[in-house]
Amino acid sequence: MKRISVVGFGKIGQAIVANMLRHNIQVNAVDINPALKDIFTSNSYSSAEPGIEEILKKSFAEGQLSISSDFASVENSAAVIVAIPLLVDKQKNVLDQPFLECFNHIGAHLKNGTVLVIETSIPVGYGRNTVIPVIEKTGSKHGSDFFLVHSPERIKSGTMLQQLVVTPKVIGGVSKEAALKAAEIYRWFFDETLIHVVDSIEAAEMIKLAGMAYRDVNIALSNQLAEFAEKSGVPFTELIPLINTDGEAHLLSPGIGVGGHCTPVYPYFLIRNFAQRGLNFDLASRARDINDQMARYALSLARKAGYGGVNLILGLGFRPNIKEDTFSTSYLLRDAIEAENLPCQLHDTEFSSAEISQKGFTPCNDLYASGCDTAFLVTMHKEYGGINWKKMAQGGLKLLVDGRNAISKKMVEDAGIQYIGIGNN
């Protein structure tokens, strides 16, 4: 049976592994968390990602999936795919030591032309100029012991397995030989029509970064147009579908901010790349600033309306009904509220009260008894579609700032609560 090792068995790594397993590939998952193997051995593994749990449990029980914390286990693999995060700090500086340490560990175990794939998004030039030197210090040589390629993962929580069968798979290598070897392996578990080999590893590195910068700039444009519309009395969000009918525009929706692992992070990789070449990616920098200030803008709308004295944030997750809060706008909104010395509670359908407290918020355990005069919708969890707004009004709510333009304005106003959307007042 064909054998591949995947280093990093978190949420992304698990989806990558599950996709291979359903194509009858023997997979060795490597992760520094030694408890992962015990979780599978005790049959206590669970995943909210559709389809993942069933595939991984069955494959582990049948021996098709092995799990190890020993990097030496990658030996005798046709390919090693790395899916560990490249982290950034609060100032968005790259924290790459944990990431590079992974290559220190696996470097000596790359032999006989192993295809090494980085699926983690990385800055342009990072694979060739940073990763290869780290590996070659371990004694392994590119072009003989290993071949390095980049193939950016482009999947989102909630529908990962479905996306893996429709999203084009981009592959770029340090050399043409590296790219062709990787493409042959990816054909084991991807449809031929999805595979696109680009000219270099740098080209592949740019794919995801450019896509995320586009998304961020697009949202920033809509956010600025929404601010203008608010002052001009124009219902901007109602106009977006019409604006987009000309075949040229593709405006995204304005909102209270942009969260997640990707969009708030990867533009900074390109901003850094630009600076290294004496260029200023001011468009991306400005977009980041615009989108991050939307939390303060939302609070200003409430204060302008005469409310916001006691505040409730609805949602911590950066996507609906996904228990992930990386760079969630709720943190920016909390900081803006606390900067004015105002009280603030947070409610989320996915996180427990204890977890919310651990993340620095005061949890709201009862939506209808929070005592708040203003609510800010940050995350449109499906449960929030069923909120009883008349009951919220009875509990003292005076204003809803709908940061996702997702709640019926009429329903809220019929309950006696003032409604303010982002570009939709």
Residue 262 lies in a domain: no
300 and 176 in one domain? Answer: no
Whether residue 13 sits in one domain with residue 148:
yes
- Report how far residue 19's alpha carbon sits from residue 36's, in angstroms, rounded to the nearest whole number: 19
| Domain final position from 199, 232, 264 | 199
In a domain, 97, yes or no: yes
Asked if residue 367 lies in contact with residue 313, where contact means CB atoms within 8 angstroms, the answer is no
Count of CB atoms situated within 10 Å of the CB of 300: 15
Q: Does some domain include residue 303? A: yes
| Domain match, 175 and 30 both | yes
Judge contact between 163 and 155, C-beta under 8 A. yes
Residues 191, 299 share a domain: no
In whole angstroms, give the CA distance from residue 314 to residue 379: 6
* Cα separations in angstroms, 254 against 257, 281, 340, 422: 8, 22, 25, 6
Q: How many angstroms separate the CA atoms of 31 and 7, rounded? A: 6
* Final residue of a structural domain among 150, 167, 199: 199
One domain for residues 160 and 30: yes
Domain final residue pick, 175, 199, 223: 199
- Distance linking the first and last C-alpha atoms of the chain: 60
Contact call for residues 7 and 27 (beta carbons, < 8 A): no
Q: What pLDDT was estimated at residue 330? A: 98
What is the C-alpha to C-alpha distance for residues 221 and 249, in angstroms, rounded to an integer?
Answer: 12
> 184 and 312: one domain?
no
Tens digit of each residue's pLDDT (9 = 90 or more) over 368-385: 999 999 999 999 999 999
Residues 182 and 316 in one domain: no
Asked whether the beta carbons of 421 and 237 are under 8 A apart, the reply is yes
| Chain Cα centroid distance, residue 264 | 9
Check whether residue 9 and residue 121 sit in a common domain. yes
Q: Which residue's entry shows tokens 């303060």?
A: 296
Please state, as a whole number, how many other Cβ atoms lie within 10 Å of the Cβ of residue 47: 17
Shared domain for 68 and 185, answered yes or no, is yes
C-beta of residue 173 within 8 angstroms of C-beta of residue 182: yes
Residue with tokens 């992930």: 324
CA distances from 253 to 22, 276, 364, 407 (A): 36, 33, 28, 14
Look at residue 227 and tell me if it is in a domain.
no
Beta bridge partners of 29: 6, 67
Question: Is the CB of residue 301 less than 8 Å from the CB of residue 240?
Answer: no
Count how many domains the chain has.
Answer: 2
Q: Establish if 237 belongs to a structural domain.
A: no
Q: Which residues, at least 6 apart from 412, have a Cβ–Cβ distance to it below 8 Å? A: 389, 400, 402, 418, 419
Predicted local distance difference test score (pLDDT) of residue 90: 76
CATH number at residue 373: 3.40.50.720
What does the alpha-carbon distance between residue 35 and residue 31 come to, in Å, rounded to a whole number?
9
In a shared domain, residues 330 and 192: no
Structural domain contains residue 239: no
Same domain for 165 and 18: yes
Beta bridge partners of 67: 29
The boundaries of the domain holding residue 8 are 3-199
Widest Cα–Cα separation across the chain: 72
How far apart (Å, rounded) are the C-alpha atoms in residues 204 and 197?
Answer: 9
Question: Domain for residue 390, yes or no?
Answer: yes
Residues 297 and 160 in one domain: no
pLDDT tens-digit profile, the chain (425 residues): 699 999 999 999 999 999 999 999 999 999 999 899 999 999 999 998 999 999 999 999 999 999 999 999 999 999 999 999 898 887 778 888 889 999 999 999 999 999 999 999 999 999 999 999 999 999 999 999 999 999 999 998 889 999 999 999 999 999 999 999 999 999 999 999 999 999 999 999 999 999 999 999 999 999 999 999 999 999 999 999 999 999 999 999 999 999 998 999 999 999 999 999 999 999 999 999 999 999 999 999 999 999 999 999 999 999 999 999 999 999 999 999 999 999 999 999 999 999 999 999 999 999 999 999 999 999 999 999 999 999 999 999 999 999 999 999 999 999 999 999 999 87
Q: Does a structural domain hold residue 344?
A: yes
What is the gyration radius of the CA atoms in the chain, in angstroms? 24
Q: What is the pLDDT of residue 411?
A: 97
Please compute, for residue 383, the number of CA atoms within 13 A of its CA located in the half-sphere on the CB side.
9
Q: Which residue is listed with tokens 């900081």?
A: 335
- Select from 9, 107, 101 the least CA-distant residue to 56: 9
If you ran DSSP here, which 8-state letter would residue 142 be given?
A: B
